[in-house]
Structure 1
Amino acid sequence: MFTATVHFTQHRNCILRRLTAGVDAPIPIEIEEIQNGVVTFVLRSGEHTDGFQSELEAAEHVEHVTRLDEENLLVTKPSCGAYSAIYRNHGTLRRSNTVSGRQREYTVLVFRREDLRNIIEDLGTFGTVTLGKLEEFTPGVEPPLTERQHEVAAQALARGYYDWPRGITNEKLAEKLGISRATLHEHLRKAERTVLSSALAESHRQVGEGRFERIDV
Protein backbone atom coordinates (compact mmCIF):
# COMPACT_ATOMS: atom_id res chain seq x y z
CA MET A 1 0.00 0.00 0.00
CA PHE A 2 1.12 3.54 -0.72
CA THR A 3 0.16 7.09 0.14
CA ALA A 4 0.70 9.77 -2.48
CA THR A 5 0.33 13.53 -2.48
CA VAL A 6 -1.25 14.57 -5.76
CA HIS A 7 -1.23 18.21 -6.90
CA PHE A 8 -3.95 18.89 -9.43
CA THR A 9 -4.86 21.94 -11.49
CA GLN A 10 -8.54 21.78 -12.45
CA HIS A 11 -9.28 22.80 -16.04
CA ARG A 12 -13.04 22.33 -15.75
CA ASN A 13 -15.31 25.11 -14.59
CA CYS A 14 -16.21 24.07 -11.04
CA ILE A 15 -18.10 26.10 -8.44
CA LEU A 16 -15.41 25.48 -5.82
CA ARG A 17 -12.85 26.87 -8.24
CA ARG A 18 -14.91 30.05 -8.52
CA LEU A 19 -15.65 30.32 -4.79
CA THR A 20 -12.04 29.97 -3.64
CA ALA A 21 -10.28 31.87 -6.43
CA GLY A 22 -9.97 35.05 -4.35
CA VAL A 23 -9.26 33.39 -0.98
CA ASP A 24 -5.74 33.79 0.39
CA ALA A 25 -5.32 30.35 2.00
CA PRO A 26 -6.40 26.91 0.70
CA ILE A 27 -9.80 25.75 1.99
CA PRO A 28 -9.87 22.27 3.59
CA ILE A 29 -12.48 19.76 2.42
CA GLU A 30 -13.36 16.49 4.13
CA ILE A 31 -15.11 13.95 1.93
CA GLU A 32 -18.05 12.19 3.56
CA GLU A 33 -19.55 10.14 0.75
CA ILE A 34 -19.19 9.56 -2.98
CA GLN A 35 -21.95 7.70 -4.78
CA ASN A 36 -22.93 7.58 -8.45
CA GLY A 37 -20.83 10.65 -9.24
CA VAL A 38 -22.37 12.71 -6.42
CA VAL A 39 -20.10 13.83 -3.58
CA THR A 40 -21.01 14.95 -0.06
CA PHE A 41 -18.32 16.86 1.80
CA VAL A 42 -17.68 19.22 4.68
CA LEU A 43 -16.32 22.55 3.46
CA ARG A 44 -14.18 24.13 6.20
CA SER A 45 -15.04 27.62 4.99
CA GLY A 46 -14.20 29.63 8.13
CA GLU A 47 -14.79 33.36 7.76
CA HIS A 48 -16.09 32.84 4.21
CA THR A 49 -19.02 30.67 5.31
CA ASP A 50 -21.76 33.27 4.74
CA GLY A 51 -20.67 34.08 1.21
CA PHE A 52 -19.96 30.47 0.26
CA GLN A 53 -23.35 29.36 1.58
CA SER A 54 -25.22 31.98 -0.45
CA GLU A 55 -23.46 31.08 -3.69
CA LEU A 56 -23.79 27.34 -3.17
CA GLU A 57 -27.51 27.65 -2.42
CA ALA A 58 -27.99 29.72 -5.56
CA ALA A 59 -26.23 27.18 -7.81
CA GLU A 60 -28.74 24.98 -9.63
CA HIS A 61 -26.50 21.91 -9.75
CA VAL A 62 -25.75 21.92 -6.00
CA GLU A 63 -28.18 19.43 -4.48
CA HIS A 64 -27.96 20.28 -0.79
CA VAL A 65 -26.27 22.76 1.56
CA THR A 66 -26.45 22.58 5.36
CA ARG A 67 -24.73 24.98 7.73
CA LEU A 68 -23.17 22.86 10.45
CA ASP A 69 -21.88 25.77 12.53
CA GLU A 70 -20.28 29.19 12.06
CA GLU A 71 -17.35 27.87 10.02
CA ASN A 72 -18.45 24.66 8.28
CA LEU A 73 -20.86 23.69 5.50
CA LEU A 74 -22.09 20.24 4.52
CA VAL A 75 -22.49 20.18 0.73
CA THR A 76 -23.85 17.62 -1.72
CA LYS A 77 -23.16 18.18 -5.43
CA PRO A 78 -22.08 16.33 -8.57
CA SER A 79 -18.35 15.69 -8.61
CA CYS A 80 -16.37 17.85 -11.03
CA GLY A 81 -14.43 14.70 -11.87
CA ALA A 82 -11.43 14.43 -9.54
CA TYR A 83 -13.07 12.49 -6.71
CA SER A 84 -14.72 10.10 -9.15
CA ALA A 85 -11.39 9.54 -10.92
CA ILE A 86 -9.68 8.65 -7.63
CA TYR A 87 -12.36 6.23 -6.44
CA ARG A 88 -12.96 4.75 -9.90
CA ASN A 89 -9.31 3.65 -9.94
CA HIS A 90 -9.45 2.03 -6.49
CA GLY A 91 -7.95 4.95 -4.57
CA THR A 92 -9.13 6.40 -1.26
CA LEU A 93 -8.69 9.93 0.02
CA ARG A 94 -6.56 9.40 3.10
CA ARG A 95 -6.96 12.79 4.77
CA SER A 96 -8.58 16.14 4.16
CA ASN A 97 -7.79 17.66 0.78
CA THR A 98 -7.65 21.34 -0.06
CA VAL A 99 -8.95 23.64 -2.78
CA SER A 100 -7.64 27.05 -3.80
CA GLY A 101 -9.08 28.29 -7.08
CA ARG A 102 -7.92 25.88 -9.78
CA GLN A 103 -5.43 24.22 -7.42
CA ARG A 104 -6.19 21.02 -5.51
CA GLU A 105 -4.07 18.89 -3.22
CA TYR A 106 -5.10 15.30 -2.48
CA THR A 107 -3.52 12.68 -0.24
CA VAL A 108 -4.47 9.36 -1.79
CA LEU A 109 -4.16 5.83 -0.43
CA VAL A 110 -3.72 3.07 -3.05
CA PHE A 111 -2.95 -0.63 -2.85
CA ARG A 112 -0.90 -0.78 -6.05
CA ARG A 113 1.34 1.55 -8.03
CA GLU A 114 -0.74 0.67 -11.08
CA ASP A 115 -3.82 2.18 -9.43
CA LEU A 116 -1.91 5.41 -8.81
CA ARG A 117 -0.75 5.53 -12.43
CA ASN A 118 -4.35 5.09 -13.57
CA ILE A 119 -5.54 7.87 -11.25
CA ILE A 120 -2.92 10.27 -12.60
CA GLU A 121 -3.75 9.32 -16.19
CA ASP A 122 -7.48 9.78 -15.56
CA LEU A 123 -7.00 13.16 -13.87
CA GLY A 124 -4.78 14.24 -16.74
CA THR A 125 -7.72 14.13 -19.14
CA PHE A 126 -9.24 17.25 -17.54
CA GLY A 127 -6.40 18.89 -15.61
CA THR A 128 -2.68 19.05 -14.95
CA VAL A 129 -1.25 16.57 -12.45
CA THR A 130 1.99 16.60 -10.48
CA LEU A 131 2.91 13.75 -8.16
CA GLY A 132 4.33 14.94 -4.86
CA LYS A 133 5.39 12.74 -1.96
CA LEU A 134 5.03 8.97 -2.44
CA GLU A 135 5.72 6.54 0.37
CA GLU A 136 4.79 3.06 1.50
CA PHE A 137 1.94 3.04 3.97
CA THR A 138 2.35 1.02 7.14
CA PRO A 139 -0.72 1.02 9.41
CA GLY A 140 0.10 2.03 12.96
CA VAL A 141 -1.34 0.70 16.15
CA GLU A 142 -4.79 2.19 16.55
CA PRO A 143 -6.78 2.46 19.78
CA PRO A 144 -9.93 0.29 20.07
CA LEU A 145 -13.28 1.74 19.13
CA THR A 146 -14.90 4.01 21.66
CA GLU A 147 -18.27 2.90 23.01
CA ARG A 148 -20.07 5.46 20.85
CA GLN A 149 -18.12 4.55 17.70
CA HIS A 150 -18.95 0.90 18.29
CA GLU A 151 -22.64 1.71 18.75
CA VAL A 152 -22.86 3.83 15.60
CA ALA A 153 -20.89 1.34 13.47
CA ALA A 154 -22.96 -1.59 14.77
CA GLN A 155 -26.22 0.20 13.96
CA ALA A 156 -24.93 1.14 10.50
CA LEU A 157 -24.03 -2.48 9.80
CA ALA A 158 -27.28 -3.90 11.22
CA ARG A 159 -29.49 -1.46 9.30
CA GLY A 160 -27.82 -2.13 5.95
CA TYR A 161 -25.79 1.06 5.56
CA TYR A 162 -22.86 -0.97 4.19
CA ASP A 163 -25.02 -3.12 1.89
CA TRP A 164 -25.18 -2.50 -1.85
CA PRO A 165 -27.57 -0.98 -2.61
CA ARG A 166 -27.75 0.62 0.81
CA GLY A 167 -30.57 -0.46 3.08
CA ILE A 168 -30.70 2.95 4.77
CA THR A 169 -29.55 6.43 3.81
CA ASN A 170 -27.15 8.48 5.90
CA GLU A 171 -29.98 10.92 6.68
CA LYS A 172 -32.25 8.16 8.01
CA LEU A 173 -29.45 6.49 9.95
CA ALA A 174 -28.49 9.79 11.59
CA GLU A 175 -32.16 10.36 12.45
CA LYS A 176 -32.45 6.89 14.01
CA LEU A 177 -29.37 7.58 16.15
CA GLY A 178 -30.48 11.09 17.08
CA ILE A 179 -27.36 12.76 15.70
CA SER A 180 -26.47 15.04 12.78
CA ARG A 181 -25.17 13.67 9.47
CA ALA A 182 -21.80 15.30 10.16
CA THR A 183 -21.54 13.56 13.55
CA LEU A 184 -22.60 10.25 12.01
CA HIS A 185 -19.88 10.47 9.38
CA GLU A 186 -17.29 11.52 11.94
CA HIS A 187 -17.99 8.42 14.08
CA LEU A 188 -18.07 6.10 11.06
CA ARG A 189 -14.89 7.54 9.55
CA LYS A 190 -12.94 7.04 12.78
CA ALA A 191 -14.38 3.56 13.30
CA GLU A 192 -13.62 2.53 9.72
CA ARG A 193 -10.06 3.80 9.98
CA THR A 194 -9.48 1.91 13.23
CA VAL A 195 -10.94 -1.36 11.96
CA LEU A 196 -9.24 -1.11 8.55
CA SER A 197 -5.84 -0.27 10.06
CA SER A 198 -6.14 -3.22 12.44
CA ALA A 199 -7.10 -5.61 9.64
CA LEU A 200 -4.30 -4.41 7.36
CA ALA A 201 -1.74 -4.68 10.14
CA GLU A 202 -2.82 -8.27 10.78
CA SER A 203 -2.69 -9.06 7.05
CA HIS A 204 0.80 -7.54 6.84
CA ARG A 205 1.91 -9.71 9.77
CA GLN A 206 0.54 -12.86 8.15
CA VAL A 207 2.26 -12.05 4.87
CA GLY A 208 5.51 -11.72 6.79
CA GLU A 209 4.92 -15.15 8.31
CA GLY A 210 4.34 -16.64 4.89
CA ARG A 211 0.64 -17.36 5.43
CA PHE A 212 -0.34 -15.28 2.39
CA GLU A 213 1.44 -14.84 -0.91
CA ARG A 214 2.83 -11.33 -1.42
CA ILE A 215 1.91 -9.78 -4.75
CA ASP A 216 4.44 -7.35 -6.25
CA VAL A 217 3.30 -4.66 -8.71
Structure 2
Amino acid sequence: MFTATLHFTQHRECILRRLTADISDPVPIEIEEIQNGVVTFVLQAGPHADNFQAELEAADHVRHVKRLDDGNLLVTKPSCGAYSAIYKNHGTLRRSNTVSGRQREYNVLVFQRADLKNILEDLEEFGTVTLGRLEEFRANSDSLLTTRQHEVASEALARGYYDWPRKITNEELAEELEISRATLHEHLRKAEQALLSSALMNPHERATRDQYRQTTIER
Protein backbone atom coordinates (compact mmCIF):
# COMPACT_ATOMS: atom_id res chain seq x y z
CA MET A 1 0.00 0.00 0.00
CA PHE A 2 1.13 3.55 -0.71
CA THR A 3 0.14 7.08 0.24
CA ALA A 4 0.48 9.89 -2.26
CA THR A 5 -0.12 13.63 -2.31
CA LEU A 6 -1.61 14.82 -5.61
CA HIS A 7 -1.55 18.44 -6.74
CA PHE A 8 -4.30 18.92 -9.29
CA THR A 9 -5.32 21.86 -11.48
CA GLN A 10 -8.97 21.52 -12.51
CA HIS A 11 -9.65 22.48 -16.13
CA ARG A 12 -13.37 21.77 -15.99
CA GLU A 13 -15.90 24.30 -14.81
CA CYS A 14 -16.88 23.51 -11.23
CA ILE A 15 -18.90 25.45 -8.70
CA LEU A 16 -16.21 24.99 -6.04
CA ARG A 17 -13.66 26.44 -8.44
CA ARG A 18 -15.82 29.55 -8.81
CA LEU A 19 -16.64 29.87 -5.10
CA THR A 20 -13.04 29.70 -3.93
CA ALA A 21 -11.33 31.56 -6.80
CA ASP A 22 -10.90 34.85 -4.92
CA ILE A 23 -10.19 33.43 -1.45
CA SER A 24 -6.56 33.66 -0.37
CA ASP A 25 -6.39 30.50 1.76
CA PRO A 26 -7.29 26.99 0.54
CA VAL A 27 -10.70 25.81 1.75
CA PRO A 28 -10.70 22.40 3.50
CA ILE A 29 -13.10 19.70 2.35
CA GLU A 30 -13.87 16.55 4.34
CA ILE A 31 -15.20 13.75 2.14
CA GLU A 32 -18.13 11.85 3.67
CA GLU A 33 -19.24 9.54 0.86
CA ILE A 34 -18.86 8.95 -2.87
CA GLN A 35 -21.36 6.76 -4.69
CA ASN A 36 -22.30 6.48 -8.36
CA GLY A 37 -20.49 9.69 -9.24
CA VAL A 38 -22.19 11.70 -6.49
CA VAL A 39 -20.09 13.07 -3.64
CA THR A 40 -21.16 14.21 -0.18
CA PHE A 41 -18.69 16.37 1.69
CA VAL A 42 -18.32 18.91 4.46
CA LEU A 43 -17.15 22.26 3.12
CA GLN A 44 -15.34 24.20 5.83
CA ALA A 45 -16.40 27.59 4.53
CA GLY A 46 -15.70 29.61 7.67
CA PRO A 47 -16.63 33.29 7.23
CA HIS A 48 -17.75 32.59 3.64
CA ALA A 49 -20.46 30.14 4.72
CA ASP A 50 -23.43 32.46 4.03
CA ASN A 51 -22.29 33.29 0.51
CA PHE A 52 -21.30 29.69 -0.28
CA GLN A 53 -24.64 28.38 0.95
CA ALA A 54 -26.65 30.83 -1.13
CA GLU A 55 -24.74 30.03 -4.32
CA LEU A 56 -24.81 26.29 -3.75
CA GLU A 57 -28.56 26.32 -3.10
CA ALA A 58 -29.11 28.31 -6.29
CA ALA A 59 -27.14 25.82 -8.43
CA ASP A 60 -29.40 23.37 -10.28
CA HIS A 61 -26.94 20.48 -10.16
CA VAL A 62 -26.31 20.65 -6.40
CA ARG A 63 -28.59 18.06 -4.82
CA HIS A 64 -28.47 19.01 -1.16
CA VAL A 65 -27.02 21.73 1.07
CA LYS A 66 -27.29 21.74 4.86
CA ARG A 67 -25.83 24.21 7.32
CA LEU A 68 -24.09 22.23 10.06
CA ASP A 69 -22.92 25.19 12.15
CA ASP A 70 -21.61 28.73 11.68
CA GLY A 71 -18.84 27.78 9.26
CA ASN A 72 -19.54 24.28 7.89
CA LEU A 73 -21.82 23.11 5.08
CA LEU A 74 -22.82 19.56 4.20
CA VAL A 75 -23.08 19.36 0.41
CA THR A 76 -24.16 16.63 -2.00
CA LYS A 77 -23.43 17.14 -5.71
CA PRO A 78 -22.16 15.28 -8.77
CA SER A 79 -18.40 14.89 -8.75
CA CYS A 80 -16.54 17.13 -11.20
CA GLY A 81 -14.46 14.07 -12.03
CA ALA A 82 -11.50 13.95 -9.65
CA TYR A 83 -13.16 11.98 -6.85
CA SER A 84 -14.58 9.44 -9.29
CA ALA A 85 -11.16 9.02 -10.94
CA ILE A 86 -9.60 8.24 -7.58
CA TYR A 87 -12.23 5.83 -6.29
CA LYS A 88 -12.81 3.85 -9.48
CA ASN A 89 -9.09 3.05 -9.52
CA HIS A 90 -9.22 1.60 -6.00
CA GLY A 91 -7.88 4.72 -4.28
CA THR A 92 -9.17 6.04 -0.99
CA LEU A 93 -9.16 9.73 -0.15
CA ARG A 94 -8.04 11.01 3.17
CA ARG A 95 -11.07 12.90 4.45
CA SER A 96 -9.32 16.27 4.60
CA ASN A 97 -8.42 17.78 1.20
CA THR A 98 -8.32 21.36 -0.01
CA VAL A 99 -9.65 23.46 -2.88
CA SER A 100 -8.49 26.91 -3.97
CA GLY A 101 -9.97 28.01 -7.28
CA ARG A 102 -8.59 25.62 -9.90
CA GLN A 103 -6.02 24.19 -7.47
CA ARG A 104 -6.73 21.04 -5.46
CA GLU A 105 -4.64 18.93 -3.12
CA TYR A 106 -5.62 15.33 -2.52
CA ASN A 107 -4.09 12.83 -0.09
CA VAL A 108 -4.68 9.34 -1.45
CA LEU A 109 -4.15 5.79 -0.22
CA VAL A 110 -3.68 3.15 -2.95
CA PHE A 111 -2.97 -0.57 -2.83
CA GLN A 112 -0.65 -0.78 -5.83
CA ARG A 113 1.51 1.55 -7.90
CA ALA A 114 -0.57 0.55 -10.93
CA ASP A 115 -3.66 2.00 -9.23
CA LEU A 116 -1.86 5.30 -8.72
CA LYS A 117 -0.72 5.31 -12.34
CA ASN A 118 -4.32 4.84 -13.50
CA ILE A 119 -5.52 7.64 -11.20
CA LEU A 120 -2.95 10.04 -12.64
CA GLU A 121 -3.85 9.09 -16.21
CA ASP A 122 -7.57 9.61 -15.59
CA LEU A 123 -7.01 12.97 -13.87
CA GLU A 124 -4.92 14.17 -16.82
CA GLU A 125 -7.97 13.84 -19.07
CA PHE A 126 -9.50 16.97 -17.53
CA GLY A 127 -6.70 18.71 -15.64
CA THR A 128 -3.03 18.92 -14.85
CA VAL A 129 -1.72 16.68 -12.08
CA THR A 130 1.65 16.39 -10.39
CA LEU A 131 2.68 13.77 -7.88
CA GLY A 132 3.97 15.12 -4.59
CA ARG A 133 5.03 12.86 -1.77
CA LEU A 134 4.84 9.09 -2.34
CA GLU A 135 5.47 6.72 0.57
CA GLU A 136 4.93 3.08 1.31
CA PHE A 137 2.24 2.52 3.91
CA ARG A 138 3.60 0.22 6.62
CA ALA A 139 1.13 0.85 9.41
CA ASN A 140 0.17 -2.07 11.64
CA SER A 141 -3.61 -1.73 11.74
CA ASP A 142 -3.92 -4.00 14.79
CA SER A 143 -1.99 -1.48 16.88
CA LEU A 144 -3.89 1.54 15.57
CA LEU A 145 -7.53 0.44 15.73
CA THR A 146 -9.82 -0.75 18.46
CA THR A 147 -11.16 -4.28 18.08
CA ARG A 148 -14.55 -3.00 16.93
CA GLN A 149 -13.07 -0.50 14.46
CA HIS A 150 -10.94 -3.30 12.99
CA GLU A 151 -13.99 -5.58 12.68
CA VAL A 152 -16.16 -2.94 10.99
CA ALA A 153 -13.42 -1.71 8.63
CA SER A 154 -12.46 -5.29 7.68
CA GLU A 155 -16.08 -6.18 6.97
CA ALA A 156 -16.54 -3.02 4.88
CA LEU A 157 -13.46 -3.88 2.82
CA ALA A 158 -14.48 -7.53 2.38
CA ARG A 159 -18.04 -6.65 1.34
CA GLY A 160 -16.91 -4.22 -1.34
CA TYR A 161 -17.83 -0.96 0.41
CA TYR A 162 -14.57 0.55 -0.86
CA ASP A 163 -14.86 -0.87 -4.37
CA TRP A 164 -15.87 1.24 -7.36
CA PRO A 165 -18.76 1.05 -7.92
CA ARG A 166 -19.64 0.03 -4.40
CA LYS A 167 -20.93 -3.51 -4.00
CA ILE A 168 -22.83 -2.65 -0.84
CA THR A 169 -24.43 0.57 0.38
CA ASN A 170 -23.87 2.07 3.80
CA GLU A 171 -27.46 1.17 4.74
CA GLU A 172 -26.96 -2.47 3.77
CA LEU A 173 -23.61 -2.71 5.52
CA ALA A 174 -24.98 -1.16 8.70
CA GLU A 175 -27.91 -3.60 8.64
CA GLU A 176 -25.61 -6.62 8.22
CA LEU A 177 -23.45 -5.44 11.10
CA GLU A 178 -26.60 -4.75 13.15
CA ILE A 179 -25.60 -1.17 13.89
CA SER A 180 -26.99 2.21 12.88
CA ARG A 181 -25.65 4.16 9.90
CA ALA A 182 -24.35 6.80 12.31
CA THR A 183 -22.42 4.17 14.28
CA LEU A 184 -21.07 2.64 11.06
CA HIS A 185 -19.79 6.01 9.84
CA GLU A 186 -18.27 6.77 13.24
CA HIS A 187 -16.31 3.49 13.28
CA LEU A 188 -15.16 3.93 9.67
CA ARG A 189 -14.28 7.60 10.17
CA LYS A 190 -12.10 6.83 13.20
CA ALA A 191 -10.48 3.83 11.50
CA GLU A 192 -9.70 5.82 8.35
CA GLN A 193 -8.38 8.73 10.38
CA ALA A 194 -6.09 6.48 12.43
CA LEU A 195 -4.73 4.60 9.42
CA LEU A 196 -4.26 7.62 7.20
CA SER A 197 -2.81 9.80 9.96
CA SER A 198 -0.23 7.11 10.57
CA ALA A 199 0.46 6.73 6.86
CA LEU A 200 0.97 10.47 6.39
CA MET A 201 3.24 11.01 9.38
CA ASN A 202 6.75 12.11 8.64
CA PRO A 203 9.52 9.74 9.85
CA HIS A 204 10.29 11.82 12.96
CA GLU A 205 6.64 11.86 14.07
CA ARG A 206 6.33 8.11 13.50
CA ALA A 207 9.51 7.38 15.46
CA THR A 208 8.30 9.54 18.36
CA ARG A 209 4.92 7.78 18.38
CA ASP A 210 6.48 4.31 18.31
CA GLN A 211 8.90 5.22 21.10
CA TYR A 212 6.02 6.49 23.24
CA ARG A 213 4.05 3.29 22.65
CA GLN A 214 7.02 1.09 23.52
CA THR A 215 7.61 3.07 26.72
CA THR A 216 3.96 2.68 27.66
CA ILE A 217 4.07 -1.09 27.07
CA GLU A 218 7.23 -1.48 29.17
CA ARG A 219 5.57 0.35 32.07
Taking structure 2 as the reference length, the TM-score comes to: 0.73
**Aligned residue identity for 2:144:** E
Give the Cα–Cα distance (whole angstroms) in 2 for the partners of residues 167 and 43 of structure 1.
Answer: 21
Q: Does 1:81 align with 2:81?
A: yes
Structure 1, gaps ≥5 residues long: 198-217
Other structure's SS at 1:47 match: helix
Structure 1 runs of 4+ aligned residues shifted over 4 Å read 192-197
User: Does the 8 A contact of 2:94 with 2:196 survive in 1?
Assistant: no
Corresponding residue of 1:142: 144
Pairing 1:147-166 to 2, within 5 Å after superposition: 164-166=167-169
Corresponding residue of 2:54: 54
Q: Give the superposition deviation at 1:164.
A: 3.7
Q: 1:120 to 1:195 in 2, by over 3 A?
A: closer
Other structure's SS at 1:168 match: helix
Q: 1:133 to 1:66 in 2, by over 3 A?
A: same
**Aligned residue identity for 1:10:** Q
Q: 1:145 to 1:28 in 2, by over 3 A?
A: farther
Corresponding residue of 1:15: 15
Q: Give the superposition deviation at 1:166.
A: 2.9
Corresponding residue of 1:204: none
Q: Does 1:101 align with 2:96?
A: no
Q: Give the superposition deviation at 1:142.
A: 1.1
User: Does the 8 A contact of 1:56 with 1:65 survive in 2?
Assistant: yes
User: What's the Cα RMSD here?
Assistant: 3.3
User: Does the 8 A contact of 1:28 with 1:97 survive in 2?
Assistant: yes
**Aligned residue identity for 1:166:** T
Q: Give the superposition deviation at 1:187.
A: 4.3
Other structure's SS at 1:23 match: coil
Q: Give the superposition deviation at 1:61.
A: 0.1
Q: Give the superposition deviation at 1:52.
A: 0.4
Pairing 1:59-208 to 2, within 5 Å after superposition: 59-140=59-140, 141-144=143-146, 164-166=167-169, 168=171, 185-191=185-191
User: Does the 8 A contact of 1:2 with 1:135 survive in 2?
Assistant: yes
User: Does the 8 A contact of 1:145 with 1:191 survive in 2?
Assistant: no
Q: Give the superposition deviation at 1:71.
A: 1.0
